[in-house]
Amino acid sequence: MPQRRVARRRLTAADWAEAALDALRDEGSLSAIAIEPLAARLGATKGSFYWHFANRDALIDAALAGWEARSTEELTEAVAAGEDDPAARGRELLRTMTGLAHRDPTELALLAEAGQPRVAATLERVITRRLEALAALLETELALPREEARSRALHAYCDQLGRAQLARAIPAVLPEAADDEETVIDSAWHSLLGAAAGGQRGA
Amino acid sequence: MPQRRVARRRLTAADWAEAALDALRDEGSLSAIAIEPLAARLGATKGSFYWHFANRDALIDAALAGWEARSTEELTEAVAAGEDDPAARGRELLRTMTGLAHRDPTELALLAEAGQPRVAATLERVITRRLEALAALLETELALPREEARSRALHAYCDQLGRAQLARAIPAVLPEAADDEETVIDSAWHSLLGAAAGGQRGA
DNA sequence: ATATCACCATACGCCTCCGCATGGTTTTAA
DNA sequence: TTAAAACCATGCGGAGGCGTATGGTGATAT
């Protein structure tokens, strides 16, 4: 019995990778990327999967690569936007960098799974690029010294990261105003501009 | 054959709960709390476990309760310390609240697993107590208005949380000075004192 | 001394998932 | 139209984890 349900189209490796990312976003854990559940979700079986991928790790790699590509793409778009207005570009950068964590749990899921070396490496590349972009903006547009720019960027990023974490884990402790992304971005941008000495003072 | 290895002592429920917390800290994931691996680690078998606990969930609950008890104990100790010097008490509070995340991965592991409702509830209680304590200190000792105190406390906490997260996931992006806990506490305390308007401005 | 109770080992069935082997079914191309 | 290639379903074996049943073994009390 040729048991196709209706007239399902055939799957590609990209379909599997995307399904893996979906599962990671929905379940919030790398263990959600499992062949058999994904196959069920896709209306297929393992036979399809093992044609496109060598094993589960290969699928995870593909999903990570997909996420990294999407993230860097959004970053470059944000950098390119509003070329004339530095403030607008800064806010757009912040939105891309930190708003993602609020809108899309994938990033927090990966952060939670940073024990895995491949996950950590992916995160390192993405986050480094973001910090680099933000620091560069501060350095050129606000004429801040390099170290100060990097320090402020890092500070803002950590703040938003912790905020996103709390928003996901225990939203009750955050003020209601934090629901509005525009408000959050606004606050982050102003604290970025008006930061005090900042950075680690020691040594 | 009475196969005791040497002359192992008998286990208690607390032994199992502690072993569960150890596993959670070492592996960094709730899935590390698994009966059979823990039994092997303890040199026992499932027979022992199911005498002391009804099932795996009960063990997780016990581990969470143990962590919560330990956390609140450390918090009250910090509040009690240095009663005469508000600054010293504030720094001690910060050390307890945020230093924990740096020294002990358990907290970050739980945060990563906040999808589980029981984990989220535990975290909410602990973190709320911490924020409450810090805000109260700022309110009474620095004579800050209530909302301002809460806002600054939350801000500092988010910052340290994000910093701890990054330190664990991708330590490369943090400056080397961040290795020194005293430096971190120092920076956090000063930014807590000298924060600008802070808080969400909106609505 | 022996009966009772607390504690534990062993073995079993069940489930979920990975990975492979095999054979079938499409699609493409010659 | 038929041969090859791409794609996929099915079935199997194995690993690891949960929970239960059952029968010990040690300590404790009488």
**∠ CA A187-A184-A151 to the nearest 5 degrees?**
55
Residue B154 is predicted with a pLDDT of 93
Note whether residue B158 is domain-resident. Answer: yes
Residue A150 is predicted with a pLDDT of 94
From the list A177, A190, A202, which residue is nearest B180 (CB)? A202
Residue B110 is predicted with a pLDDT of 95
Sign of CA dihedral B63, B68, B73, B78: positive
Note whether residue B203 is domain-resident. Answer: no
Q: Could you write out the DSSP letters of every residue in A121-163?
A: HHHHHHHHHHHHHHHHHHHHHS---HHHHHHHHHHHHHHHHHH
Whether any strand D atom is under 7 angstroms from the Cβ of A122: the reply reads no
pLDDT tier at B39 (50, 70, 90 boundaries)?
Answer: very high
Whether any strand D atom is under 7 angstroms from the Cβ of B45: the reply reads no
Please write the tens of the pLDDT for every residue from A26-66.
Answer: 999 999 999 999 999 999 999 999 999 999 999 999 999 99
Instruction: Report CB contact under 8 Å: B111, A114.
Output: no
Instruction: Report CB contact under 8 Å: B169, A196.
Output: no
A34/A59 Cα distance (integer angstroms): 9
pLDDT tops 60 at residue A2 = no
Note whether residue A97 is domain-resident. Answer: yes
Q: Is B198 within 8 Å of A184 (Cβ atoms)?
A: no
Greater confidence, B194 or A36?
Answer: A36
Count CB neighbours of A133 within 10 A. Answer: 19
Under DSSP, the state recorded for A198 is: -
Range of the domain at B151: 83-193
Count CB neighbours of B62 within 10 A. Answer: 20
Instruction: Report CB contact under 8 Å: A115, B194.
Output: no
C1’ C29 / CA A45, Å? 28
Question: Can you read off the two tokens belonging to residue A72?
Answer: 């860097």
A138/A144 Cα distance (integer angstroms): 6
Please write the tens of the pLDDT for every residue from B118-134.
Answer: 999 999 999 999 999 99
A146/A137 Cα distance (integer angstroms): 10
A57 CA: nearest nucleotide by C1': C18
For chain B, the domain total comes to: 1
Nucleotides of C under 7 A from a protein CB: 7-11, 16-27
B7/A148 Cα distance (integer angstroms): 61
pLDDT tier at B195 (50, 70, 90 boundaries)?
Answer: low
Note whether residue A189 is domain-resident. Answer: yes
Nucleotides of D under 7 A from a protein CB: 7-11, 16-26
Residue A197 is predicted with a pLDDT of 42
Average pLDDT, chain B: 87
- The distance in angstroms from the start CA to the end CA of chain B is 74
A155/B157 Cα distance (integer angstroms): 12
A30/A59 Cα distance (integer angstroms): 11
Judged by a CB distance cut-off of 8 A, whether residue A183 touches chain B is yes
Note whether residue B3 is domain-resident. Answer: no
Residue B106 is predicted with a pLDDT of 94
Note whether residue B139 is domain-resident. Answer: yes
pLDDT tops 50 at residue A199 = no
- Set of chain B residues whose Cβ sits within 8 Å of the Cβ of A123: 169-170
Size of chain A in residues: 203
B137/A192 Cα distance (integer angstroms): 26
A200/A149 Cα distance (integer angstroms): 13
Note whether residue A105 is domain-resident. Answer: yes
pLDDT tops 70 at residue B138 = yes
Note whether residue A23 is domain-resident. Answer: no
- What's the whole-number mean pLDDT along residues A101-116? 89
Judged by a CB distance cut-off of 8 A, whether residue A106 touches chain B is no
Taking CA atoms, what residue in A is nearest to B194?
A196
CA distance B125 to chain A (A): 9
| Cβ-proximal residues to B135 (8 Å cutoff; 6+ apart), any chain | B146, B149, B150, B152, B153
Q: Which amino acid is at A17?
A: A
From the list B31, B115, B124, which residue is nearest A172 (CB)? B124
B17/B58 Cα distance (integer angstroms): 10
Judged by a CB distance cut-off of 8 A, whether residue A157 touches chain B is yes
- What's the whole-number mean pLDDT along residues B29-57? 97
Please write the tens of the pLDDT for every residue from B4-34.
Answer: 334 467 899 999 999 999 999 999 999 999 9
Question: Can you read off the two tokens belonging to residue A124?
Answer: 């390192």
Please write the tens of the pLDDT for every residue from B56-98.
Answer: 999 999 999 999 999 999 999 988 886 678 888 888 888 888 7
- What's the whole-number mean pLDDT along residues A72-90? 85
Question: Can you read off the two tokens belonging to residue B151?
Answer: 């806002």
Whether any strand D atom is under 7 angstroms from the Cβ of B155: the reply reads no
Q: Is A197 within 8 Å of A162 (Cβ atoms)?
A: no
Whether any strand D atom is under 7 angstroms from the Cβ of B51: the reply reads no
pLDDT tops 60 at residue A170 = yes
Judged by a CB distance cut-off of 8 A, whether residue B160 touches chain A is yes
Residue A8 is predicted with a pLDDT of 62
